[in-house]
């Protein structure tokens, strides 16, 4: 998807709403994930009367925050942080002169993770109260433009009206027909964040973001992890050299990878699962595991909210079809986040949510989809933004590529985190930065500095002229930019 064109959004947004007087609310949002709740807050800031519908509940309370907060980004990062500390203590403390023999208490690790999640979920509820946003607990269904039915957990149904409805129901893990989730031995990410003990052998189907992050968690804690990936490289959205650097480091940590292989069947044998599959050359493969994580992507939640009955058009890929202003084919009905085309990322959904709230208020909402950063929270982290080198080649763009290894960065040396590099891709004629990728410690935070230059159409020279504090990992970004100009200093 291209960037939303702000020009004329005021006029178009106004014409997309229902006639005045139709509604009790200005806006009802279905789904309180990062897209939905951020949209609610922005709309409330703009003076709108907002309700948000959420079905996730712990029996006593509605749990806001969606997949990201409850079973996705936040709990997985809590586990990544715990497992990284454990791994560091076990493998690297000795070289610093620190002698410890660490052991891991899984129950405590899971309790801490849940504490982090619960605090943040409570925080969102507080934000809803602060902005006077009404939370409607239950499953939301679009009956028609401006009409939403909410079915509570006890079956009670209520109907609500609004000038605008924003669809923000998010996505769920894709289930493979021959590898059905049982919530115990064959699981999605929803359950792989809560294994009660460290699996002896974990097979991860899918070498994408979830597979690598959760595979890393359990590998660091002692599991023998095998990742089975259908394609010839990890994370297909990355350039080959970037994916390879990540693979090498993860292999050093003990993860095993099988590429161009497909899992085709599974049989449960007591507490184990025997997986069968085929290699690229057609030969048979087999793996035995006590847990299997299936992480082959996510699909939008479109069935439950009555979209097809209400007449919401879907794309061929079964995503909600929207125009350049995030409007569906129905008047006053908008869609954001994982439901629509584009990367399935929490921060992208948030941007969508803000843009829709602003367009509803007659402002110029805007999302630049070309500049949504992508991060894999392994160690080292991998972060990218803009075009890859391969995408530039496909578009016949003439580019200069600058690279700088963390091996030559003083701060990274001091931290014993020398794996990886910064890669910056600049247009050969104009020097405008077209894309960047970083493999290395703190890559997720470092990519923001490059993205900020790109937002303003910055060049590699702009980055090279930015004074970076010494000694910091950020100097590797400056050096990669200098390398684009043929002026690298420390390599």
Closest residue to bound ligand NAD by CB: 208
* 205 vs 480, beta carbon nearer ligand NAD: 205
Token duo for residue 350: 């948030």
What's the chain's Rg over C-alpha atoms?
Answer: 24
Whichever of 318 and 490 has its CB closer to ligand NAD, that residue is: 318
Minimum separation from the CB atom of position 234 to ligand NAD (A) = 7
Find the shortest distance in angstroms from Cβ 112 to ligand NAD.
Answer: 20
CB atoms within 10 A of CB 251: 11
Confirm whether 164 is a catalytic residue: no
Start-to-end CA span in the chain (Å)? 38
Choosing from 131, 347, 470, 473, the catalytic residue is 470
Nearer to ligand NAD, 190 or 462 (CB): 190
Within 8 A by CB and 6+ apart from 12, the residues are 325, 327, 359
- Cβ at position 210, least distance to ligand NAD in Å: 3
Chain-centroid distance of CA 337 in Å reads: 11
What is the nearest approach in angstroms of ligand NAD to the Cβ of residue 173?
7
CA pair distance 444, 460, nearest whole angstrom: 19
Least CB distance to ligand NAD at residue 155 (A): 32
Return all residues near 104 (Cβ < 8 A) that are at least 6 apart. Answer: 86, 198, 221, 222
Q: Please identify, using beta-carbon distances, which residue of 189 and 409 lies nearer to ligand NAD.
A: 189
User: CB of residue 29 vs ligand NAD: minimum separation in angstroms?
Assistant: 21
Measured from the CB atom, the residue of 215 and 365 that comes closer to ligand NAD is 215
**Residue number with CB closer to ligand NAD (326 or 375):** 375
Q: Which is nearer to ligand NAD, 216 or 328 (CB)?
A: 216
Under the rule (CB under 6 A), what is the footprint of ligand NAD? 176, 205-211, 213, 228-231, 236, 262-263, 295-298, 344-345, 375-377
C-beta closer to ligand NAD: residue 231 or 468: 231
* Shortest distance (Å) from residue 208 CB to ligand NAD: 2
Beta carbon of residue 209, minimum distance to ligand NAD (angstroms, whole number): 4
Q: Which residues are catalytic?
A: 470
């Amino acid at each position: 998807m291209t960037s939303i064109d702000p020009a004329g959004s005021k006029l178009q947004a106004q014409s997309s709403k229902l006639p005045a007087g139709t509604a009790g609310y200005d806006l009802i949002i279905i789904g309180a994930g990062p897209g939905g709740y951020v949209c609610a807050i922005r709309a409330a800031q703009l003076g709108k009367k907002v309700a948000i519908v959420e079905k996730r509940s712990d029996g006593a309370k509605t749990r806001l925050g969606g997949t990201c907060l409850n079973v996705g980004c936040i709990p997985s990062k809590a586990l990544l942080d715990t497992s990284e500390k454990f791994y560091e203590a076990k493998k690297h403390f000795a070289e610093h002169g620190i002698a410890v023999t660490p052991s891991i208490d899984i129950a405590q690790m899971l309790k801490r993770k849940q504490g982090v999640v619960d605090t943040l979920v409570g925080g969102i509820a507080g934000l809803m109260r602060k902005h006077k946003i009404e939370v409607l607990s239950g499953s939301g269904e679009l009956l028609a433009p401006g009409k939403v039915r909410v079915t509570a957990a006890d079956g009670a149904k209520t109907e609500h009206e609004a000038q605008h409805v924003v669809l923000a129901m998010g996505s769920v893990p894709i289930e493979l027909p021959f590898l059905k989730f049982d919530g115990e031995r064959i699981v999605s990410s929803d359950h792989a964040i809560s294994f009660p003990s460290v699996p002896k052998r974990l097979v991860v189907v899918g070498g994408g973001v979830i597979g690598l992050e959760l595979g890393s968690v359990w590998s660091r804690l002692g599991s023998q992890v095998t990742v089975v990936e259908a394609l010839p490289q990890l994370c297909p959205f990355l350039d080959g050299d970037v994916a390879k650097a990540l693979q090498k480091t993860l292999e050093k940590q003990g993860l095993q990878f099988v590429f161009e292989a497909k899992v085709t069947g599974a049989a449960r044998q007591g507490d184990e699962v025997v997986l069968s599959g085929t290699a690229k050359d057609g030969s048979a493969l087999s793996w035995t595991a006590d847990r299997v994580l299936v992480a082959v992507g996510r699909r939008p939640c479109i069935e439950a909210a009555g979209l097809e009955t209400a007449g919401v058009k879907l794309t061929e890929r079964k995503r909600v079809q929207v125009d350049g202003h995030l409007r569906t084919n129905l008047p006053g009905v908008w869609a954001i986040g994982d439901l629509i085309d584009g990367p399935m990322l929490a921060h992208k959904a948030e941007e969508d949510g803000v843009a829709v709230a602003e367009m509803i208020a007659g402002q110029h909402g805007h999302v630049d989809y070309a500049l949504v950063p992508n991060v894999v929270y392994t160690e080292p982290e991998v972060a990218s933004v803009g075009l890859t080198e391969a995408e530039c080649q496909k578009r016949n763009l003439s580019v200069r590529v600058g690279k700088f290894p963390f091996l030559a960065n003083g701060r990274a040396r001091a931290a014993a985190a020398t794996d990886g590099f910064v890669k910056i891709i600049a247009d050969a004629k104009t020097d405008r930065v077209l894309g960047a990728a970083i493999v290395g410690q703190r890559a997720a935070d470092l990519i923001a500095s490059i993205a900020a230059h790109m937002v303003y159409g910055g060049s590699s020279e702009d980055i090279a002229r930015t004074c970076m504090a010494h000694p910091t990992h950020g100097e590797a970004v400056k050096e990669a930019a200098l390398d684009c100009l043929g002026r690298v200093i420390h390599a």
